[in-house]
């Protein structure tokens, strides 16, 4: 893919993120794609599993927003920096909703092949997210 094609793919994804459109986001992955993510419990492989991962996020945080801060493209590798905000009003990880607000930064790292994402690694402070929604307690220092 050219740089412009990759940029357009991620602009399309940005619009799907804004709509919380799990099906549209999952459609951007190749059939055997893998997403490595703390929320996936390690990895999700295949479009159906990846779509389910998005559905899980969007159900737990129905007001989820993603501020796209930076997109870096190097050949078939793409890095995206995001600021995520939302409210745990749908219940997170099987727990009752806490109605607490979350904010965190994350980095998503992609490999793009033949117009689709073949691999994605999500890096963020998962422990900090669990503290923000109230599933973990942190002792003040």
This prediction's pTM? 0.88
**pLDDT per residue as tens digits for the range 67-97:** 999 999 999 999 999 999 999 999 888 889 9
* Cα–Cα dist 121/8, whole Å: 20
Q: What is the assigned CATH class of domain 3-133?
A: alpha beta
Walk along the chain (141 residues) and give the pLDDT tens digit of each residue. Answer: 899 999 999 999 999 999 999 999 999 999 999 999 887 678 999 999 999 999 998 999 999 999 999 999 999 999 999 999 999 999 888 889 999 999 999 999 999 999 999 999 999 888 888 888 888 887 777
- Three-state DSSP at 75 gives coil
β partners of residue 68: 82
Domain ranges of the chain: 3-133
């Amino acid at each position: 893919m050219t740089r412009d094609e990759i940029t357009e793919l991620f602009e399309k994804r940005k619009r799907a993120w804004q709509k919380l459109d799990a099906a549209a986001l999952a459609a951007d992955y190749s059939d055997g794609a893998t997403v490595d993510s703390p929320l996936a419990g390690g990895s999700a492989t295949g479009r159906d599993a990846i779509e389910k991962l998005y559905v899980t996020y969007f159900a737990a945080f129905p007001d989820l927003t993603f501020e796209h801060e930076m997109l870096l493209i190097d050949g078939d590798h793409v890095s995206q920096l995001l600021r995520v905000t939302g409210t745990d009003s749908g219940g997170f990880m099987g727990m009752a909703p806490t109605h607490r607000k979350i904010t965190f930064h994350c980095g998503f790292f992609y490999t793009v092949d033949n117009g689709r994402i073949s691999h994605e690694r999500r890096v963020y402070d998962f422990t900090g997210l669990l503290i923000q929604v109230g599933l973990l307690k942190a002792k003040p220092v």
